[in-house]
């Protein structure tokens, strides 16, 4: 997962990482969930909201997932269950499904479920996720827990409304098509288990690595430090900090403006290195003069991101 402030190079780093993984032979899926995705610009090819193979790169697939697609998928997967649970508590019609799906911030929850499903299907060896700018990513991480605590409230309310477990069971085991009907409490349990799987997926260092991208400038560094401590607060270890747009000494040699700018950058890089735990892997990427678009650029960028690779 790639996160960081807007415009710092998340998409570029995510593309270069996905490119590199696919070159190593991993079947890789690159996902952008940014409301203004730019994978198509990077690969100079339309990607869109369906998973497609990336032209000229073996093993690499990509998708720019949008809100409508994720909501549609969620409604067909969970709509009936949501209706059953809510209508057992309140006199509502099926419009309640749309109401729930439009709740602010719920997109993040849907997105996590989409990623979890892709992960559990094991079609891809690696999933590289280019997230939306920092604020969204943080909200995203809070959702499974908020969701789980909501479920607790729903569950308790349910117990209060129904008089006794037997009655709950009788009232809630209406037929649901083929197979054994699922009780409402089983449905709530299923949702809780799903939220737990999401929490586990994003916290398990064996499956998920967070990569934070930053640039050595005051405001971005401050936000990055806050982001990193919030991640740690959630028990999510960040594996890699990428410091992008670093002016190289040879590029600054002839220009007093760049020299001055580089001095400020070096100050911020030292600050970062002093204040973060020494085990954190930090990679500096130079500020490049050319436009970063197309395979050549991705390849070039990947060489900076993976200096020890082939």
Ligand X SMILES: Nc1ncnc2c1ncn2[C@@H]1O[C@H](COP(=O)(O)OP(=O)(O)OP(=O)(O)O)[C@@H](O)[C@H]1O
Interaction between residue 283 and ligand X (CB under 6 A): no
Report whether 33 contacts 130 (CB < 8 A). yes
With CB under 5 to 8 Å by kind, the binding choice for 237 among Mg ion, ligand X, none is: none
C-alpha 89, offset from chain centre: 33
CB-count exposure of residue 125 (10 Å: 0-12, 13-18, 19+): middle
Interaction between residue 10 and ligand X (CB under 6 A): yes
DSSP characters over 190-218: HHHHHHHHHHHHHH-TTT--EEEEE-SSH
Site residues for ligand X, window 28-57 (CB under 6 A)? Answer: 34, 38
By beta-carbon proximity to ligand X, the closer residue of 63 and 194 is: 63
By beta-carbon proximity to ligand X, the closer residue of 147 and 268 is: 268
Site residues for ligand X, window 226-245 (CB under 6 A)? Answer: 244-245
In the set 85, 101, 220, 285, which binds ligand X (CB under 6 A)? 285
In the set 1, 3, 12, 265, which binds ligand X (CB under 6 A)? 12
Q: Cα separation of 27 and 24, whole Å?
A: 9
Helix residue ranges, H only, 24-121: 39-43, 67-89, 95-101, 106-121
Interaction between residue 221 and ligand X (CB under 6 A): no
Site residues for ligand X, window 66-125 (CB under 6 A)? Answer: none
Q: What is the dihedral of CA 205, 148, 178, 167, to 10 degrees?
A: 150
Query: Which residue's beta carbon is nearest to the bound Mg ion?
Result: 11
By beta-carbon proximity to Mg ion, the closer residue of 13 and 112 is: 13
By beta-carbon proximity to ligand X, the closer residue of 97 and 262 is: 262
Task: Give least dist CB 91 to ligand X, A.
Answer: 44
Q: Cα separation of 157 and 146, whole Å?
A: 17
Task: Give least dist CB 98 to ligand X, A.
Answer: 29
By beta-carbon proximity to Mg ion, the closer residue of 131 and 187 is: 131
Q: Cα separation of 152 and 132, whole Å?
A: 29
Interaction between residue 288 and ligand X (CB under 6 A): yes
For 175, other C-beta atoms within 10 Å of its C-beta total 8
Question: Interacting stretch for ligand X, rule CB under 6 A, among 8-16, 67-75, 195-203, 227-235?
Answer: 8-16
With CB under 5 to 8 Å by kind, the binding choice for 107 among Mg ion, ligand X, none is: none
By beta-carbon proximity to Mg ion, the closer residue of 29 and 97 is: 29
Helix axes 134-161, 218-233, angle to 10 degrees: 30
By beta-carbon proximity to Mg ion, the closer residue of 10 and 20 is: 10
Report whether 287 contacts 246 (CB < 8 A). yes
**Contacting positions for ligand X (CB under 6 A):** 4, 6-12, 34, 38, 133, 244-245, 285, 287-288, 292
């Amino acid at each position: 997962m790639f996160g960081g402030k807007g415009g710092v190079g998340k998409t570029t780093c995510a593309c270069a990482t996905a490119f590199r993984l696919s070159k190593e032979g991993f079947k890789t899926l690159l996902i952008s969930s940014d409301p203004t995705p730019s994978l198509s610009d990077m690969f100079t090819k339309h990607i869109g909201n369906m998973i497609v193979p990336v032209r000229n790169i073996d093993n690499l697939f990509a998708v720019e997932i949008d809100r409508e697609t994720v909501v549609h998928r969620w409604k067909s997967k969970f709509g009936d269950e949501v209706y059953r649970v809510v209508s057992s508590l309140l006199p509502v019609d099926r419009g309640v499904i749309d109401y729930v799906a439009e709740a602010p911030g719920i997109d993040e929850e849907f997105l996590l479920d989409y990623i979890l499903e892709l992960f559990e299907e094991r079609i891809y060896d690696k999933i590289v996720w280019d997230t939306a700018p920092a604020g969204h990513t943080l909200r995203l991480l809070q959702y499974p827990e908020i969701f789980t605590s909501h479920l607790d409230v729903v569950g308790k309310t349910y117990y209060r409304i129904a008089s006794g477990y037997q009655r709950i069971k009788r009232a809630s085991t209406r037929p649901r098509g083929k197979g054994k009907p699922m009780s409402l409490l089983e449905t709530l349990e299923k949702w809780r288990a799903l939220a737990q799987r999401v929490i586990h997926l994003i916290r398990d260092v064996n499956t998920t690595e967070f990569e934070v991208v930053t640039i050595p400038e005051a405001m971005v560094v401050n936000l990055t430090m806050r982001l990193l401590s919030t991640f740690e607060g959630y028990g999510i270890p960040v594996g890699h900090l990428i410091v992008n747009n670093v002016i190289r000494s040879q590029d600054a040699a002839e220009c007093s403006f760049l020299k001055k700018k580089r001095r400020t950058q070096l100050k911020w890089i030292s600050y970062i290195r002093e204040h973060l735990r020494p085990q954190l892997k930090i990679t500096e990427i130079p500020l490049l003069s050319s436009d970063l678009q197309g395979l050549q650029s991705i390849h070039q960028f990947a060489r900076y991101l993976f200096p020890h690779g082939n």
